[in-house]
A and B are shown apart, each in its own frame.
Chain A
Amino acid sequence: GAGVSQTPSNKVTEKGKYVELRCDPISGHTALYWYRQSLGQGPEFLIYFQGTGAADDSGLPNDRFFAVRPEGSVSTLKIQRTERGDSAVYLCASRARDGVEGELFFGEGSRLTVL
């Protein structure tokens, strides 16, 4: 498809397990963002990639969270030793180099539930 694709759409896991969430951005978009959205809240910034490198990872809450984008396209958000507080919708967004400033194209999100 032409939009940002995220998989899985839903993930239920047990406390302490490892989780990977995948984002496939719009083709040609160099900037990629991960946000986390808790119930009743706005998206909260986690990490920003420009190409393959993480330009800003200051939003990652702790060292259990890690994200990669090895070829400058698909990105994977990895969460180790999941906790119940990690339950949220994880949104991925991409932006065109010459796009409207601030216009991020979001995927539908991956809803993570940690039991």
Chain B
Amino acid sequence: GQQLNQSPQSMFIQEGEDVSMNCTSSSIFNTWLWYKQDPGEGPVLLIALYKAGELTSNGRLTAQFGITRKDSFLNISASIPSDVGIYFCAGIMFSGGYNKLIFGAGTRLAVHP
């Protein structure tokens, strides 16, 4: 089963608003990633975080790797209609001799023009 807990499950916001979503786990991860999935497509990587405490930006996106290595958040500033989609956090843990990627259940974002 899933080891990552994402919240909120869904959000409905007005265009121009800022958005914040987060991901927590009872397990420690070596790397945190944030993916976005558009309808009918596979997830696409947005941001990767490699060090505890790391804060990384990619355009209007900002993500942080929690100090405890058990959580991460993603912020989207000044949302636009094309931000609509499902955002997944994912963590990498070393398991069975290789780095295993595990996904959360996703946060569904709807943006009202």
Measuring CB to CB, which residues of chain A are less than 8 angstroms from any residue of chain B?
Answer: 4, 33, 35, 40-45, 48, 50, 55-56, 58, 91, 93, 100-109
Residues of B within 8 A of A107 (CB): 42
Interface majority SS (helix, strand, loop, mixed), chain B: strand
* Contacting residue for A108 out of B41, B90, B102, B106, CB 8 A: B41
Bound together, the chains give a CA A37 to CA B2 distance in angstroms of 12
Question: What residue of chain A has the Cβ atom nearest to residue B41's Cβ?
Answer: A108
B88 touches A43 (CB 8 A): yes
Known: A41-B106, A43-B103. A101 touches B92 (CB 8 A): yes
CB distance from A33 to the nearest CB of B (A): 8
Bound together, the chains give a CA A88 to CA B95 distance in angstroms of 26
Bound together, the chains give a CA A58 to CA B102 distance in angstroms of 13
Question: What residue of chain A has the Cβ atom nearest to residue B96's Cβ?
Answer: A56
Question: What residue of chain B has the Cβ atom nearest to residue A93's Cβ?
Answer: B42
B45 touches A45 (CB 8 A): no
CB distance from A61 to the nearest CB of B (A): 12
Number of interface residues of B (CB under 8 A): 28
Residues of B within 8 A of A44 (CB): 2, 103
A101 touches B31 (CB 8 A): yes
Of residues 54 to 107 in B, which have CB atoms within 8 Å of A's CB atoms?
A: 88, 90, 92, 95-106
Measuring CB to CB, which residues of chain B are less than 8 angstroms from any residue of chain A?
Answer: 2, 4, 6, 31, 33, 40-45, 48, 50, 88, 90, 92, 95-106
Question: Which residue of A58, A102, A106 has the most chain B CB atoms within 10 A of its CB atom?
Answer: A102
Known: A91-B42, A93-B42, A109-B42. A45 touches B100 (CB 8 A): yes
A44-B2, A55-B98 are known contacts; what are 9 more A-B pairs with Cβ within 8 Å?
A41-B2, A42-B4, A42-B103, A42-B104, A55-B96, A56-B96, A102-B92, A102-B101, A107-B42
Bound together, the chains give a CA A14 to CA B43 distance in angstroms of 28
Residues of B within 8 A of A93 (CB): 42
Bound together, the chains give a CA A43 to CA B42 distance in angstroms of 10
B88 touches A102 (CB 8 A): no
